[in-house]
Amino acid sequence: MISSKTSTLYLSPPRADLWLAIGLRLLAATGIALLAIIVWCLLGEAWNVFVGVGASHFLTDSSWHPTEGTFGIAPMAVASIASALGAVLIASPIGVGSAVFCQYYCSPGWSSALRQLLGLFAGIPSVVFGFWGLVTLVPLIAEDNPPGASLLAGALVLAMMIVPTVALTAHAALASVPHSFVAAGHALGLRRGTIVLKVTLIAARNGIFAGIIMSLGRALGETMAMLMVSGNIVQIPSSVFDSVRSLAANIALEMAYATGTHRSALYACGIALIAVVALSTWVSERLTAGARHRA
């Protein structure tokens, strides 16, 4: 018979596990503290523009002229959202189609090689995409619709940047679909295309949508590529060929010389970007959690 003292010693965690748990808690707390400090500093720096200009004018006015004291981010917010959504609309079918091909229509060797190539593609710096877009894509668009540097150019470059993310997350979602679903489809006499479209894609839809929304968050925060190919004109676009300026590009262009309320307005642009990306991340987490729950 084991005494209560012996039982307590047996159930207590080893010292190494205890120190590991403490270390992990400290690291998690450090990450949360750093995020809180960043948000707090941004709010402190942006407070002047919210008081002096007003949050409603800052969010809805269509004029951004720091020398005249007007700070409206509506055109840049529209440009950021439009370019990101355009990139997602272009990249999603390409990425999901690539994932389906790798998972169901490709040999294991070629599938592994293609996924490694996509991983390498995802690691290319954004300035390289922007430079390619500036010297190749912008002149092509300018041949028929000058000046070429436009919302369309920005969306196309962003689409190239997020295709690997969409493809790799979609492949992971498809790979997590139970093999019994595919076997059941074959047992019913369904063709491979029917199984893919009506069984596996539906079963993996939450994971696929989560990856797409994660890609949307990356596209919203992209700076260098949009700065190089979008034209950097503050206006609400009337067509995809109009030059635009995104919120991230605006911060990069003006932070070096901004002072006073102008500087506060740029910090407020950063807060707006954080809010949008945080919302997209939250939606992605909810979709992923729903997929795990159904599984």
Core vs surface per residue 39-50: b (16+ CB within 10 A) or e: eeebeebbebbb
Task: Provide the 3-class DSSP secondary structure of residue 71.
Answer: strand
Higher per-residue pLDDT: 15 or 293 = 15
pLDDT digits (tens, 9 = 90+) for 57-94: 888 888 898 888 888 899 999 999 999 999 999 999 99
**Six-digit token pair at 277?**
């990306």
Helices 151-175, 74-104: crossing angle, 10 deg rounding: 40
Q: CA-CA distance, 102 to 164, in Å (whole number)?
A: 13
**Six-digit token pair at 186?**
């074959």
Q: CA-CA distance, 91 to 87, in Å (whole number)?
A: 6
pLDDT digits (tens, 9 = 90+) for 137-149: 999 999 988 888 9
Structural domains of the chain in order of their starting residue, each with its CATH number:
71-294 (1.10.3720.10)
Q: What contacts 178, CB < 8 A, 6 or more positions away?
A: 203, 295
Helices 151-175, 108-122: crossing angle, 10 deg rounding: 140
63: amino acid identity, one letter = S
Average pLDDT score over residue span 96-114:
90
Q: What contacts 10, CB < 8 A, 6 or more positions away?
A: 2
Beta bridge partners, 55, equal: none
Pairing of strands 70-71, 64-65: antiparallel
Whether the full predicted model's pTM is greater than 0.95, yes or no, is no
Q: What per-residue confidence (pLDDT) applies to 89?
A: 95
Task: Please compute, for residue 210, the number of CA atoms within 13 A of its CA located in the half-sphere on the CB side.
Answer: 21
pLDDT digits (tens, 9 = 90+) for 260-286: 889 999 999 989 888 888 887 787 777
